[in-house]
Each structure stands twice: as structure tokens, then as C-alpha cells.
Structure 1
Amino acid sequence: MLWKIRIVFSILNVIYDVFRPILLFLRKKPPSIPPITRSIYKLSATKLAKKIREREITSYEVVQEYITRIKEVNPFLNAVVDERFADAIIEAKNYDEQLKDGKFDIKTLEQEKPLYGVPITIKECCAVKGCSHTGCTLPRKGIKADYDAAVVEMLRNAGAIPLCVTNTPEMSSGYDSANLLYGRTYNPYDTRYSAGGSSGGEGALLGAGGSVIGIGSDLCGSIRIPAFLNGIFGLKPTSGIIPTNGHFPHTDDKHFHKFMTFGPMTRYAEDLGLLMRVMTSKCNHDLRLDVPVDLKQIKIYYRQSLDKSFGVLPMSQEIENCVLKAANYFTRHNIRAEKLPIKWPETITDIVLTGFLNIKEPPQLLLDANNPKNHKNANIEMVKALFNLSQHTKQLIFFTIPFETHFPFTDSEISHYTKHAEEIRQKLLNTIIVSADLLGDNGILIYPTFRKQFLPELVIFEMISVSNCGIFNIFGFPAMHVPMGLNHEGMPIGVQVIAAPYQDRLCLAVAKELEIAFGGWVPPSVSISD
């Protein structure tokens, strides 16, 4: 990392280490969210769909139960920004009537409508007809989508019933889901902590058991970081295999579309494959999602931290141990696991930060409600924000400045680090050095997703930790967060699982295995009474 930046962050890290325990001490741990008391919330979407098809349960019952749970937990979380409960109930009743009348047989539903009657929740940046589509920014207050994004259309065609749209940072630009339009989303395990971003509302609702499956989007960890913080599964698929039209904010920049993708967020590993088959139904690449993976033939590599050099906050010991536990699990089952044989450069954070500066035409983020063509100055907006005079959050403005100025990097540094990124990518694929791929079609990397849980007020201090996820957006690799239980504070922990491009199925298979081994999603509070 550039020394000027290292020095700044080393100072910030000292401040962070001082203030984090003080803030936690001053804040009493708040009451827990209402416990799960109905066994229906412990069923995966895959099992719910099967029960609906076989008429063991009605879609109406499932939809009504999840609406009830959302109403129960959302006052604690502030995760939902708009709902379509009345329409969802009508759709569920119609689906039940169609089944009763014999319109579909079980086999047809299983093959063509595998999500028939199952409720789903969706990140607000993704267009859901009739629901808020503001980007969670004040200048677009009141705007609703008049169409469904392509991915929503595919999910509806598969039988899914959207219930609501969920909160994000303003313009999906940040790692704490707070904005001036809808407020902040809180973590279901401890509402003192952040639910993350930008798919934070989705992550919090799923973690709380208020949703069974959801859709997020990921530009630089925006699915995986909330998945980590809220204890669920979250997959950033291979770049380009899922259509992104209907995402707001939007740009035609090729690098933006290379880095950004929609992806599934779930409580159960088996639902990831189900959603991926639906979401990639129009993909022109053979992903072999239905081909069984022989885990005995997989090569496992692992790395326990991002960068231990000056200016970078260290990976928590619990997460390093988590990575090692996952790797050792495979070793004990006679599956080869070894440390990543590639030296991670000390400039890895520079590579990530400059990678996103290759977006030459970023979406317009600082919108003007009175004049959409007006280009606001980020520096002026930051000054205004210090006095609460801006229509935008400090988080968004802070995010916008590097795109406008490229600060603190020069064009030659951006070019240098971009070339360096490609060298590392090729080393991971290993197509240059040897004939056999390092990851190839049977290699997996187990890697930290994020450093640790954080308080919303201290989000800026964790900015470099985002590089753990962002590097794989730049590489275009599929990457998934896999939950592995709770830490000593009762907060979720887990690891990231990465594969080579178009080998998403390997991530899915490893996620299932780790869920069996370590338990996967653990509800914030559990009390099954029926």
C-alpha cells in the first residue's frame, strides 16, 4: 500500500482500537429479537417447494407465516423498506387453486417451476414492479419500479412470490446499510452491530428468519459481507452469468458489469443450487450445476489472512482459526488441503482499490432531485454533510470521491496495479507456469470473508477489510460466504469459498459439506414449540 495511505490507516487503527471497546461498554446489549417459535421457519426453500407441490402445505400458509415473521422482527431490524404483502397473498391463493384444479403435475412443477409458491425477498436496488426502486437516496423518494428486473422475472416464472424489498446504503455504495430515506438496518444477533452492506437489509432479514431465500447484488463484497455479518450463505457468482438489467444505480461501463452481479442469499446451502439454476437459466455457458461433484477429487487451498503489513488491521484470530478448521475438516476426510502456494503481495489492497478505479464511467451517485443532469461536486457535498446540509450520506460521498479524483492514486499507479492484478489472477488459474490449473475445474480456495463484526459508526475503519472480498470481483471468480456457527460473543463467523470462473458448482458442493460439518445458519434465538 502507498506509504501515505498506510500512515493514515495506522493512525486510524489506533483510534479504532481505543474507541471500539469504549463504545461497546457504553451501550448495553439490547433485547434479543423474538425467537423462532414455528417449525416452518426451519424448512429450506427446497423443502417448502416440495411440500407445496405435494400439497402437504399451501403456498398461502407459507406466505402468511413469513409475512407474520417479517412483521415480528422488522421493528428490531429496519430491514424492509417496501412490501407487497396483499398482492403476495393473492398470488399464493391463486397458486393453491391451480394445484387444486390439477393445472400442473408434480414433475412439471419440479422441472419448470421449482420455486412454485415459495416467498422470496429482494434487495431494493433490484427492480420489483410496484415496489420502491429509489436506490435508497432522498432525491428519488417515492419512485417505484414499473417493471421487473430480468432476474426477478426469471424467479417469478419459476413460481417464486416476492414479499418485499430490503434496505441498502444510499445508492448501494457502502458497507453499512444506512441512508437518509429509510434509516439504518441493524444486526439480528446484536442490534448494536452493523448488518453490513450493501445487501444489508436482505442479510439481516434472512439472518433473523424473516425470509427463507433472497436476492442481493455484489460489486465489492456486497453479498458476502452481509452474509458474514448475519450468519447466512451468500454467493457472488461468476461474472456475467446472471443478467444485471434492472439494477439501480446503473452504468454501461464494461468494468462495472464485469465486477457487479446479482446473486443468491439463503439460510440453507441446498437452496443456493436451486436459485442458481433459476437465475442462470438464460446463461449461454454450461455451468454443469446438475453434475454431481466428487469431493474426493477436489483440491483444497487455504489462506488465513489478507495482509499483515503496516497500516492494515489484522485478521481476527477466530476467523484465522475458522479457515484452518474448514481446511482441516477436509484433510481428516482424506481430501487434499494445503496452504495457497502463491505469495500474496503486500500491495494487495492497492490492487483492489485501483481495480475499481478502472470503471471509467461510474454511475451518477450524487443525484439532484431538481435537475437529474446536474453533476454535484463531492468535495462540496462532504463539507455540507458535516453540517447536515447535504441530501446525501457521508458514506456515499466518501465512496464517490475516489471515482471523481482517483485520489490517492496516479494514472500510472492504477495501470501498474491493474497489470499486477492480472498476474495474480493468472497465477491462481496457473495457466502460464504449468499446464495444470491451480484452481481449474476442481480447485477451491478457502479464505476469510471479513475481519470481524463492526459497529456502524466505525465502518470507515474497516474499509481495507473489504479487500478480502473485492479482489475476487476484480478477478471475476465465483466466491461464497459459508457460515460456520457463532463466536464467543454469540456473533456469526464463517469463511469464503472461491473457485475458478464458471466452476460455481464447486462452491455449492463445498458449502453443503461445510454446512453438514459445522451447522451452517444458527438462528439468533431458537425456541421450537411445534
Structure 2
Amino acid sequence: MLWKIRIVFTIVNVIYNVLRPIWLFFHKKPPSIPPITRPIYMLSATKLAKKIREGEITSSEVVREYIKRINEVNSFINAVVDERFADAIIEATNYDQQLKEGKFDIKTLEKEKPLYGVPITIKECCAVKGCSHTGCTLPCKGIKADYDAAIVEMLRNAGAIPLCVTNTPEMCGGFDSTNLLYGRTCNPYDTRYSAGGSSGGEKFLFKGALLGAGGSVIGIGSDFAGSIRIPAFMNGIFGHKPTSGIIPTNGHFPFTEDKYFHKFLTFGPMTRYAEDLGLLMKVMTSKCNHDLRLDVPVDLKQIKIYYRQSLDKTIGVLSMSQEIENCVLKAANHFARYNVRAEKVQYLQLIYQCTQDLTYLILQLPIEWPVTIIDIGLTGFLNVKKPPQMVLDASDPKHHKNLNVEMMKALFGLSEHTKQLLFFTLSFETHFPFTESEISHYTKHTGKIRQKLLDLLGDNGVLIYPTFRKQFLPQFVLCEIMSVTNCAIFNLIGFPAAHVPMGLNLHEGMPIGIQVNFN
């Protein structure tokens, strides 16, 4: 990145680090959301489906309980933008009746409809018939989907019951879920903080905000540059970005036919429980023609664990929080927690652990991690030559407004669009602050990093890496823009990646966790 820009960010970071604690001091923590008290909210989707199949509980009971929880917490976090509760109850009742009549046996349901009767929440950018499908932008106010996206069809065919659609940044253009149509979604652990984006509304599930508030058990998000993993980090849930191309993305809004857009974008699961990730991936990839080896057990005797604790520490970059660096190391050492013998060798740290017949090798990332990794992460998306139209005109949604005019209007609060979206669109349209030669240069480096990681990880390597720097306040969202690179780099190189929650930090009680990447 241009040194002038880095110097600007250095100054901004100093101001940010001063203002953040001052803002928190004068804005005390609001009342907490109502705690989870019902045991049903503590069951995974996998267990709920099993209990429904075996008649221990009805789908109607589960659906009604989650509707009740959504109504209980949504006034605190503002995650749901449109609901289909009445239709969901009817569908659940029909499912219960089919079971009572013996239309399906348990084995058939387990194999063909593994989510039978389980409620699910879905990001608003994904078409759910009869629900809001506006991109959360004012010019599209009132538009509802008249069809189900392919991914929603697959979930319905597997027995899932959509309850609602959840909030996003305007046109998914940012990583704080706020817009002028539905407002801001707040973090369920502390509503002063961001729920992340662009799948932030899913926190209900602790899927984003809704998932995090216990208002959902499983949800669907989309990921272009961390839009599943960042909200998962913010709200303390699991979020998985699959390899692009294995899950259909039709029905996503905004949309474009640009090949790079499709290379970076994918739908993925967000869950409160780890065991539900595999179940959802099987459903969501049911039409994939590739052998994804989802049922192949992991051989822990052969696995290699690599880790890196931070993005980089060059000028203009906010440092990774110590608690996240500790998380990464703790996750790596988890595989060597008995009779650990550690030895540091320059940039390689070898940790061997023997427990009976299992041996793990934990290695600090032994390949060169370029200091230009942020530049690489930010420029890679500028290869999208035909980005979707983002700044739409209310009188003609197919017409694209003048960006410069809208940015001037936004300074005085007169624009129909958020500053976050306008900044995002500016980068796509002007490529500021990069030149075309710089974009080409860094794109070549992306390929080199990808090849190095492919050679390093092979078929049995895992890279543990930070998901995000720390929890952030929505008022300072643009100050954390470089932290997105932690996730974005893996969209660029095409690796699957998952966020894994690791509890709460001590001083704020906010979620922390790490990102797991593999080939």
C-alpha cells in the first residue's frame, strides 16, 4: 500500500486508540438480553432433529419456542427484518402430522431429511419466498422474494423450516450490519458493540447476533471477504466458509456474472454447535458433483498443525490483541496438552506430544508471510471487473446513482445510502488507493502464497490463524478495515475456512476465537 496511506492510517489509529476507551467510558453497558432458561435452546440442530424423528418432541414445540425466543430478544439486538412465523407453524404442524401418520420411518428421515422439523434463519440477501429481499437498501424497500434460492430449496427438501430473514449491511457492503432501511443490529453480549457483517443479523443463532442470542440454532450466511467468519467471531458461534463453487449462489442479492465475484462469494453455515456444521454442509452440497470427503474420518496420527498469531506489524496496521494471539497459541497447544515438550528453533516452533499412539506436530508457520499481506488482501477483490450495482436509485432500481454526489450528500446526512456502502463502492469503482500495475503485482503474489500454502498443508495440514483483531464499536468501523484481511486472504486463495469460538475474554465478557484454514 502507498506509504502515504499507511501514514494516514497510523495517525487515524492513534486517534482511534484514544477515542475508543473514552467512548466506552461515557456510554455504559446497556441491560443484557434475557438469559436462556429453557433446556430446548441448549440442544443442537442434530439433536433436535433426532428427537423430532423419534417422537420425543414435536416440530411445533421447537418452532414455537424459537419464535418465542426471537420475540424476546429481537427488541434488544434488531436482527430480524422479516418473518414468516405463521407459515412456519403450519409447516411444523404438517410435519408432525406426517410423522403421526407414519408417512416416514426414522431411517428414511435421517438419510433423506436430516433437518426434518428443525427451524432455521437465513440472511436477507438470500431469497426466501415471501420474505424481504431488498439487499437492506432503501431504494428496494418493500421488495419480497417470489422464489426460493437454490440453497433454501435444498434446506427445505432436507426438512428445515425457515423462520425469518436477518439483517445485513446495505447491499452486504461492509462488516457492520447497519443500514438506513432496517437499522443497526447489535451484539447480543454487549449492544454497544457491532454484531459484524455482512451476516451480522444471524447473531440470533449466535449466528451473527440472532444465533448469539439463542434465537436460532442454525443459520445460513454468505461470505465474500469474511462475511460469515467475522460475525461468527463477534457473536461467539461457529461459522464456515466453504470452497467457492460447491454451493450454488443463485438467489443472492446483490449479484453479478463476473467470474471473480463468483470465485470469492459462497453461502455457508453458521451454527451454535460444532456438530451441526457437518450436517449442514452435507445438505448444502447435496447437488455438488465433487467428492468432498465429508464422511472421511480425520486421522489424528497424520495431522499437521501450523499457526500464525497475527497479520503483520508494519506501519499503519493495528496490532493483534494479546488475547487473540493467546487464543491461537492455546488452540495449537490443544493438540499437545499432555506431556508437552516444546522447543523453539528460530522461526519454527516444534511441539511434540505423545499420548498412547497419537503424535501431533505443531509448527509455527514456516513459510514467508509477506509484509504486504494487507495490500494483497485488499487489492485482490479489485479484480472484479463488473461489480454488482450497489448505489441504486429508488425511482429506477436499475439506474446507478452518481457516487461523488452521494458521498457529498452523505456528509450532511442527506443520502439514501450508508457511508460504509459508499466507501465500499468507491474502492470497487476507482480502485483507490491502488494503481492497475499495483493490483496486477499483488494478484501475482496471491498466486504465490496460495501455492506455498498448498505445498505446506497438503491433504493433512491445518493452519490456525486469527479471525479478527478484536471486538469493535460500529462508530469506528472504518478504523478496523485492515483487520478484514485476516479473513479476506482465504477468499482470495480459495481455501475453506471456519471460525471456532473459544469462550469470552476476561475484561469485557466478549467472544473470542480463532480461524481454522485448510486445503
Residues 94-103 or 6-15, more deviating: 6-15
Shift in Å, 1:371: 2.1
2:149 match: 149
1:399 aligns with 2:445: no
Per-residue CA distance 1:419-455 (angstroms, 9 max, x = gap): 011011101112xxxxxxx112111000000000011
For residues 63-142 of structure 1, what are the structure 2 equivalents within 5 Å? Answer: 63-142=63-142
Which consecutive unaligned segments of at least 5 residues does structure 1 have? 431-437, 501-530
Q: Provide TM-score, normalisation by structure 1.
A: 0.92
Bigger shift: residues 285-294 or 96-105? 285-294
What secondary structure is seen at the aligned counterpart in 1 of 2:397? coil
In the TM superposition, residue 331 of structure 1 has moved relative to its aligned partner by: 2.2
Residues 29-428 of structure 1: matches in 2 within 5 Å? 29-202=29-202, 203-332=208-337, 334=353, 335-428=360-453
Match of 1:527 in 2: none
Tell me the distance in 2 between the aligned counterparts of 1:20 and 1:415.
Answer: 36
* Number of residue equivalences: 493
TM-score w.r.t. the length of structure 2 is 0.94
Work out which of the residue numbers 491, 494, 500 in structure 2 matches 1:476: 494
Helix, strand or coil at the partner of 1:216? strand
Letter in 1 for 2:495: F
Counterpart-to-counterpart distance in 2, 1:9 and 1:378: 23
The answer for the alignment partner of 1:452 in structure 2 is 470
Taking the aligned partners of 1:92 and 1:120, their CA distance within structure 2 comes to 12
Cα distance in 1 between the residues matched to 2:396 and 2:489: 36
Distance 1:113 1:375 in 2: 43
- In the alignment, is the contact (CA less than 8 A) between 1:137 and 1:180 conserved in 2? yes
Structure 1 residue 388 displacement after superposition:
1.3
**SS of 2:314 mapped into structure 1:** coil
SS at match of 1:357: helix
Shift of 1:150: 0.3
Q: What is the root-mean-square deviation of aligned Cα atoms in Å?
A: 0.7
User: How far apart, in 2, do the equivalents of 1:397 and 1:282 lie?
Assistant: 36
By how many angstroms is 1:486 displaced?
Answer: 0.4
Deviation at 1:380, TM superposition (A): 1.6
Moved more, 126-135 or 338-347: 338-347
Give the whole-Å Cα distance in 2 for the aligned partners of 1:296 and 1:451. 32
What letter is aligned with 2:427?
A: P
Show CA shifts across 1:131-163 (max 9, x none). 000000000000000000000000000000000
Structure 1 position 343, deviation (Å): 1.5
Which ranges of 4 or more aligned residues in structure 1 deviate by more than 3 Å? none
State how far apart, in whole Å, the 2-side matches of 1:320 and 1:164 are: 36
Q: Which amino acid aligns with 1:495?
A: I
Q: Report how far residue 332 of structure 1 moved.
A: 2.7
Which residue pairs with 1:521 in the alignment? Answer: none
Whether contact under 8 Å (1:128, 1:148) holds in the other structure is yes
Contact 1:482 1:497 in 2 (8 A): yes
Higher share in strand: 2
Superposition deviation, residue 16 in structure 1:
0.5
Once residues 255 and 423 of structure 2 are traced to their aligned partners in structure 1, the CA distance between those partners, rounded to angstroms, is: 19
> What is the DSSP-based 3-state SS (H/G/I as helix, E as strand, rest coil) of the residue aligned with 1:484?
strand
What code does the residue aligned with 1:159 have?
G
- Secondary structure of 1:301's match? strand
The one-letter code of the counterpart of 1:267 is R
Distance 1:38 1:179 in 2: 33
Asked if structure 2 preserves the Cα contact closer than 8 Å seen for 1:2 and 1:350, the reply is: no
Whichever residue aligns with residue 494 of structure 1, its letter is: G
List per-residue Cα deviations over 1:376-429 (Å, max 9, x = no partner): 222221110111111101100010001111111111110000001101110111
2:8 aligned residue = 8
Q: 3-state DSSP class of the match of 1:196?
A: coil
Q: Alpha-carbon deviation of 1:375?
A: 2.3
SS of residue paired to 1:482: strand
- Provide Cα deviations, 1:345-376, integer angstroms capped at 9, x if missing partner: 11111101110000000000000121234222
- Which structure exhibits the higher relative contact order, with contacts defined as CA atoms closer than 8 Å and separated by 6 or more residues? 1
Q: Which amino acid in the other structure matches residue 291 of structure 1? A: V
**What 5-or-longer segments of structure 2 have no aligned partner?**
203-207, 339-352, 354-359
